[in-house]
Structure 1
Amino acid sequence: MSVPTDVSISVLRDVLRVYDHRFLQLDSLQRARLVEGTRRLIGDEGLSDVIRAALPASARLRAFCIQHGLLDELERLIRDEVEGGPAGAVVVGGRIYAMYPFLRGVPRQDVDITAEVGVEHRLDGVDWQGRRVRLRGAARLQRVATDRSSVEILLRDRATGREHRLPAPSRPAVPGGFELVTDPSEIPPGRYDVHIAATALGVRREARFGAVRPEGVRTGPQRRAVGAQDVTVYFTRGGYLALLVGREQENLSPFTRLLRRLLR
């Protein structure tokens, strides 16, 4: 292949995208023509390092199968993805590699999915237990099957970026499950976005938390006075979980402030 340009990389990426459910719908003659045209585009030497770095692992693997005439393996690769069965992965030296037992001789860099793996997470419930907040959910690295993982809830101050890290005890009955019960009275005043972090085999990933949740999870604001502070658990407009911590009077409406003065 000639020296790659942004245009040639874009063209190859677009061609390889056709190798999805549409490829499975082609007859044998149509498949052969498409594969042959793609093979000429890839070239005898295969993907250059520049092109390889610009493509996701799924496209690199398609290119490998096409270059080496592995049509049965190509079909299985596509069919597994279409049917929702992504390959598992292993962690080696801090890198994450997809596992495809039916593919032999694939360069390690073609199955390196380190940059593509995130954290799979779900919020199962949030409520108050007395003066403590309880969070229940699940989190784990995508595609990496291991029982040696840990979960943290991160409270990140929206104004300063300051973080409070809260280790979340596991719920053994739920894969990746956790339940955290925490006292927010020691958290300084501020507006905190809730993030979740999962760590396994030396690899850590984090994400905003709360938008992925089953129906029935309570999403209305939940406010409670905790010590000298007023704490509200709520969801942002984007659906993410957040925490507002203020001095007891700061978060109250004028009517509520007046009512509390009268009732003291």
Structure 2
Amino acid sequence: MDPVVTVIVPVHNTLRYLERCFGSVEAQTIGRRKLEVIAVNDGSSDGSGDWLDAWARERDNVQVIHQEPSGGAGKPRNVGIERARGTYLFFLDSDDYLGTDALRRMVAMADGEESDIVYGRIVGVGRDAPVDFRTTSAEVDLYDSPVYWTLAPYKLWRRALIEEHGLRFAEGRLLNEDVAFAVPAVLRAKKISVVADHDCYYLEGRGDGTNASRQDVDWVDQLAFVGEILRGLGELVPAGRERDKLMERHFHGEILSMFGEPYLARDEAGRRDMAAAAKVLLDEWTTEPIMAALPPRLRLRVHCLRHGLVDELTGIVRADTGRTLGPAHQDGERVYAAYPYFRDAERAIPDSAYDITSRVRLVQRVDSYAWDGPVLRVEGSARLSELDPAGRGVGVLLRRQGYTYWVPAETADDGTYTLRLDIGRAADGEPLPEGIWTMRIVVTSGELSKEAWLARPSDRLYDVSPEPRVIDRGEAGPCAAGLFHSAAHQHLNLDIGDTRRLLATSARGTVTRTRLGRVEATARVTVPGWPAERGEARLLLVSDRKTLTAPTTTEVDDNGRVAARATADGVAPGTWELQLRLVAGSFSRDVPVIESSGEPLRLTVPVPLVRQVRRKAARVVRGR
């Protein structure tokens, strides 16, 4: 039987990684019988070839090919393609390794969805993963998903796609040999899928600096090679929005990435040669949408390269790689990155190259919140990214059904703030009306303003809200007030007037009946903020037919603990439940009094003996 998957592994001087790499292939849950492993030893001198031969001798599904060093992973992979028999190909670098269930899951996706390419979740080990896939998808759109941002070969490829279009890796190159293969492959694929619910591929960052991506190259020649890739892309994708989105990725990854430390490492002549080579590509492919999508650090590079500003480019790259930038410049509603030569009349670099207004974000954190009488105190930090927090303004917008009220906060130069929201004055000096109020934090700097939902508190406060309480709003009278987090996004909301699920849900107490028939009842409940002078508490006896209100005396302490006591004579026979009625302004609640077991507190009053005798006599008379 032909194998389902051919795993192709180029090997060059990676002896210390081979056991982990090939061990991860052998451990695949898809099973050895469905796997073919082709290891191509590309002129290793560290004993890797001998290790591979020993490994293959004990396994009938492993073949080893030895060849002279070719100068990159491209030729070994191509040799593997020529020998492969599997329905699918998977390219595994010899210093990386697979998750145990990776190939089974990826093949199941490809078989079930008839996918030409399946991306698996990538995990960086000592380096960042190029893309963090979070959602498993049967089919993704190349132009509206992040899949094009990782063109490395470690994916599952349908071999028929590769052979139909004669796709091969560029040979003799340390960089982008895989991009030359992947670009036409992903553009010709009928369906691309993603497996994100399993860690499929572990990408190793070598601590010794020997990853191919960290080696020195002829950057002028490399730019010419990139130009060939881009021309191939241009032939397959017409000019317009879709091509621009793909080109943006190549501006980041293949053209402008070398204008950092590699550029600074060259002498002046070398820098000018690199700049001239890049100008050819940028003049051909740059569009306004691409420029707008690039961050200013890259936008400035493009401008300098296209206009021959090599010295200025060097200054900008030095400032960028040296992390010497200060706070951004602000002019009205616009914000500009603090790179050199901003508004330098001699250079005339346009403001648009520095503009980062669209990238300014509201960064916030809630550290604590608590009631101080009728005042909700919220403490945290809030600032606008890229800008100095000193001098900013912070406040909260309260919104409900067309009503909006603004409550400013006190701020400090270190980015922290304290919000004091007085329920009795929050509505432009008047009491806040009852209802559910959303809370939006607003940060301003000059004419620039950003707003967002008030953040979920930090992890230590997650799902911990201040106790709801009764708020005295002066002439408007007392009402209930509480906070809650929305179920979907944990946004903070303010509930004025209705906290039935949260405030005074039950009371504890006792109820007894003396030998003379007097009922004595007590109840205790804590209602934070309970107004001793403006609140009323009464004990109730409730049956299925009627409710009795007993004269009640109450005591209230400073912590809102309400103790009620009542007596009642002449309570009619039957079963009664004890309740505590609390009324304070618009707040009204009949609170069940419960036993320690949590059951409602009940009192059974028997029928008097004399009445029982009379009833029995009446039955006898009727019987005669």
Q: 1:255 to 1:100 in 2, by over 3 A?
A: closer
* TM-score with structure 2 setting the length: 0.35
Q: Does 1:42 align with 2:293?
A: no
1:123 offset after TM fit, Å?
A: 1.3
Q: Secondary structure at the match of 1:169?
A: strand
Change (3 A) 1:251 1:137: same
Q: Name the counterpart of 2:491.
A: 240
**Are the counterparts in 1 of residues 397 and 407 from structure 2 also a CA contact under 8 Å?**
yes
What are the residue-to-residue correspondences of 1:67-82 with 2, within 5 Å?
A: 67=306, 68=308, 69=310, 72-73=314-315, 75-76=317-318, 79=321
Structure 1 residues 107 and 48, CA gap change in structure 2 (3 angstroms): farther
Residue 63 of structure 1 aligns with which residue? 302
User: Which residue of structure 1 lines up, in the alignment, with residue 362 of structure 2?
Assistant: 119
**Partner SS for 2:497:** strand
2:425 counterpart of 1:182:
no
Equivalents in 2 of 1:146, 1:252: separation in Å?
37
**Alpha carbons 1:123, 1:138 under 8 Å: kept:** yes
Q: Which of 446, 453, 463 pairs up with 1:201?
A: 446
**Secondary structure at the counterpart of residue 88 of structure 1:** coil
Aligned to 1:229: 479
Query: 1:146, 1:111 → 2: CA distance?
Result: 20
1:85-136 residue CA offsets vs partner (Å, 9 max, x unmatched): 7652122243211111267633211111222212222212111112321111
- Structure 2, unaligned runs of 5 or more: 1-233, 425-430, 473-477, 509-522, 526-538, 540-578, 582-624
* Contact kept in structure 1, 2:316 and 2:340, CA below 8 Å: no
Greater relative contact order (Cα < 8 A, sep 6+): 1
Deviation of 1:156 after TM superposition, in Å, equals 2.5
CA-based RMSD: 3.9
State the alpha-carbon separation in 1 of the partners of residues 389 and 320 from structure 2.
Answer: 25
Asked if residue 90 in structure 1 is aligned to residue 325 in structure 2, the reply is no
Aligned residue number for residue 162 of structure 1:
403
Q: 1:108 aligns with which of 351, 364, 367?
A: 351
Instruction: State the distance in 2 between where 1:11 and 1:162 align.
Output: 45
In the alignment, residue 6 of structure 1 is paired with which amino acid? R
1:152-180 CA-to-partner distances (Å, cap 9, x unmatched) read 111223xx25322101122x3x5122212
| Residue of structure 1 equivalent to 2:385 | 142
Q: Is the 8 A contact 1:96 1:113 kept in 2?
A: yes
Query: 8 Å contact 1:12–1:41 — kept in the other structure?
Result: no
* Change beyond 3 A, Cα 1:156–1:253: same
Give the whole-Å Cα distance in 1 for the aligned partners of 2:363 and 2:418: 16
Normalising to structure 1: TM-score of the pair? 0.74
Distance 2:455 2:418 in 1: 14
Residue aligning to 2:251:
16
Cα 1:127–1:110, aligned 2, differ >3 Å: closer, same or farther?
Answer: same
State the shift of 1:63 in Å.
Answer: 1.9
Give yes or no for the alignment of 1:216 onto 2:451: no
Distance 1:161 1:24, change over 3 A: farther
Corresponding residue SS for 2:460 = coil
Maintained 8 Å contact 1:4/1:50:
no
For residues 206 and 34 of structure 1, do their structure 2 counterparts lie closer, same or farther at Cα, with a shift above 3 Å needed?
A: farther
For 1:167, give the aligned amino acid: P
Structure 1 residue runs without a partner (length 5+): none
Amino acid at match of 1:263: L
**Corresponding residue for residue 192 of structure 1:** 437
Most deviating of 238-247 and 194-203: 238-247
User: How far does residue 139 in structure 1 lie from its aligned partner after superposition?
Assistant: 1.8
Query: Could you give the per-residue CA deviations for residues 178-219 of structure 1, whole angstroms, max 9, x where no partner exists?
Result: 2122222422233223211111222111111223x5443364
**Contact preservation (8 Å) 2:336, 2:356:** yes
Identify if the C-alpha distance between structure 1 residues 7 and 34 changes in structure 2 by more than 3 Å, giving closer, same or farther. farther
Using the alignment, how far apart are the partners of 2:241 and 2:381 within structure 1? 40
Q: Aligned partners of 2:396, 2:390: CA distance in 1, in Å? A: 19
Measured at CA, do residues 21 and 236 of structure 1 come closer, stay the same or move farther in structure 2, by a change above 3 Å? farther
How many angstroms apart in 2 are the aligned matches of 1:20 and 1:241? 43
